[in-house]
A and B are shown apart, each in its own frame.
Chain A
């Protein structure tokens, strides 16, 4: 059955959607269009004039070794953040799903980190792991690790991955817990009677039944790692040391706003936009299919 509202005036429906449309147009399409236009322009050194250069900004970008490094780095970060936060969240959710005393408190506390803004997360972890101020750094040194993320690029990367994954655990935990609770108890009981031990039960019944949740979260986490880690990177390492924590999004910011190369920065944003469209497309197609197992 198709539901169709009848409006007296033909203009009324348009008037009603206008505020929403205005927001989308002003805050999404206008900047996107600006970025697209900007990406075809080259500015002079003083920013006084600009000339139309077709795809030069893009071609320049693809010739740049640093850009490829940033792509590889971003994919590595995304993968590391998604895998670590997903697996840890799943572990916590499986634990929290057991009938425990005070499980409500436990669950509530696990959800809290999600409410913390990314820059605050960055500051928080800096306080704990700063080479000279950090509480945890002392213990790491005591263990004989030469801990200095301000100088060591790999350690800085590890720090970013840790902080970004930590923040995303809550979100994943929430979805995993809901996913686990939607698995009928009797199916797991049937598996227990069928002779499957807890580990085997998890891998042959629980995990496959969670696969739609896992896929959904994987896409969400990749998008998160691509775009929302900006605040964490900016407060913790500012892309450094060197360029060891400069992801694609951070590079857009540093090339454009710090380096003043607006054309290249805009071209990079357009490429990022295409990536996010592809990711969302995959997710939508998947969500529409609903049942997958």
Chain B
């Protein structure tokens, strides 16, 4: 059991490329920390630095009160689950799990107990003698998990462990991982680019972009109060609608001093309602319906604003300027081409500075 603390961690490659630009994260004992961000944001690099597979060029990585910057991966008391599972193809499932224990000189009897216990938990007991190539993707994934848990390490590291599975299995394994982690109560760091996985698994969510941490916190707190427009558009699907506050149409509706400083207004698709009323302090927008997506329980309405909007600072899942997504329950939707009016209440408005880097509280 251990805390993991990253203090101003940096990684600069010999070519001068700065992959990690000073990251500070504190993962408490037994917590499940998820690093999420678009590909190339440095989340995997950061995880590999914690594992000891990449050197640290600045700052400190602290596992259980010990700075591990110069310590070999083997001596950090961590276990890692790789994206491609990285099973030893020439070893049986049993030996795959026993390998790490044998390297540490554990007695065969104790190894047998631990491997059999892990196999029972992961429902692998029937296939201990098989080779990895005789297993399905989900089974391989479980062997990789088993290899990690038999070691009873201080920290589990997961590098996009579910990305090679099909959608259905991914959801099942996601729940399995969460249950297992809760039961073992082992500190975990999990890397993913899937915001849904991130939201459902995390105790602490770390949203990364361009080698930097955009926001750290409880997933729901991040969803409710994103610190930057990047986080606002990355967390939540479909992404938050972001629009410039400059057009008169919006400026006139935003009252108060905070709104005066804001350059960007954000409203989540689910916070809109189709109505002719304008709630006090809220924002209403007239839209022309461009497209409808029905997914059963809910419907997405894609509308365009009458006025052309300016592009605002955000990247992931960016909408074309002037386009607004509205999420409504059920399958009833306005016809394409219809003119509708949508509104959001004041408490659901998110205001950001003009460059999108700062949240402004109303």
Contact = CB atoms under 8 A, between A and B. Distances in A.
Interface of A: 184, 186-187, 189-197, 200, 204-205, 208-209, 211, 291, 293
Contacts of A196: 74, 99, 103
Contacts of A293: 89-90
Contacts of B82: 186, 189-190
Contacts of A184: 84, 86
14 contacts: A186-B83, A189-B51, A190-B87, A190-B88, A190-B147, A191-B88, A194-B74, A194-B151, A195-B74, A196-B74, A196-B99, A205-B88, A293-B89, A293-B90
Contacts of A204: 99
A190 B133 contact: no
A200 to B, nearest CB: 7
Contact of B74 (A186, A197, A209): A197
Contact of B80 (A190, A197, A208, A211): A190
Report which residue of A184, A191, A194, A291 has the largest number of chain B beta carbons within 10 angstroms of its beta carbon.
A194
Contacts of A291: 133
User: Is chain A's binding surface mostly helix, strand, loop or mixed?
Assistant: helix
Contacts of B104: 195
B79 interface: yes
B73 A208 contact: no
A204 B133 CA distance: 18
A194 B133 contact: no
Contact of B90 (A194, A197, A208): A208
A190 B82 CA distance: 8
B133 A192 contact: no
Report which residue of B84, B89, B133 has the largest number of chain A beta carbons within 10 angstroms of its beta carbon.
B89
Contact of B89 (A193, A195, A200, A209): A209
B171 interface: no
B262 interface: no
Given A200-B103, A204-B99, A293-B89, A194 B84 contact: no
Given A190-B80, A196-B99, 12 more contacts: A186-B82, A187-B86, A189-B80, A189-B82, A189-B86, A190-B86, A193-B52, A194-B74, A194-B100, A195-B104, A197-B74, A211-B90
B78 interface: yes
B53 A194 contact: no
Interface in B77-127: 78-80, 82-84, 86-90, 99-100, 103-104
Contacts of A186: 82-84, 86
Contact of A194 (B52, B89, B99): B99
Report which residue of A200, A211, A293 has the largest number of chain B beta carbons within 10 angstroms of its beta carbon.
A293
A55 to B, nearest CB: 47
A204 B98 CA distance: 13
B351 to A, nearest CB: 44
A1 to B, nearest CB: 25
Interface residues of B, number: 24
A211 B91 CA distance: 13
A293 B52 CA distance: 29
The 4 closest A-B pairs by CB, nearest first: A293-B90, A194-B100, A186-B86, A195-B103
Contact of B103 (A187, A194, A208): A194
A208 to B, nearest CB: 4
Contacts of A192: 52-53, 72-74
A187 B87 CA distance: 6
A288 to B, nearest CB: 17
A102 to B, nearest CB: 14
A227 to B, nearest CB: 33
B168 to A, nearest CB: 25
Contact of A193 (B79, B84, B87): B79
A189 B88 CA distance: 11
A86 B151 CA distance: 37
A184 B90 CA distance: 13
Contacts of B89: 187, 209, 293
Contacts of B78: 193
Contacts of B51: 189, 193
Contacts of A208: 90
Interface string B119-155: 0000000000000010000000000000100010000
Contacts of A195: 74, 100, 103-104
A194 B104 CA distance: 8
A100 B252 CA distance: 63
A191 B90 contact: no
A186 B83 CA distance: 9
Report which residue of B84, B87, B90, B104 has the largest number of chain A beta carbons within 10 angstroms of its beta carbon.
B90
B202 to A, nearest CB: 23
A249 B82 CA distance: 53
Interface in B47-93: 51-53, 72-74, 78-80, 82-84, 86-90
A150 to B, nearest CB: 48
Contacts of B103: 194-196, 200
A187 B88 contact: yes
A186 B85 CA distance: 8
A191 B87 CA distance: 9
Nearest to A293: B90
A291 B131 CA distance: 12
B9 to A, nearest CB: 19
Report which residue of A184, A189, A193, A208 has the largest number of chain B beta carbons within 10 angstroms of its beta carbon.
A193
A200 B72 CA distance: 15
Report which residue of B51, B52, B80, B86 has the largest number of chain A beta carbons within 10 angstroms of its beta carbon.
B86
A193 B78 CA distance: 7
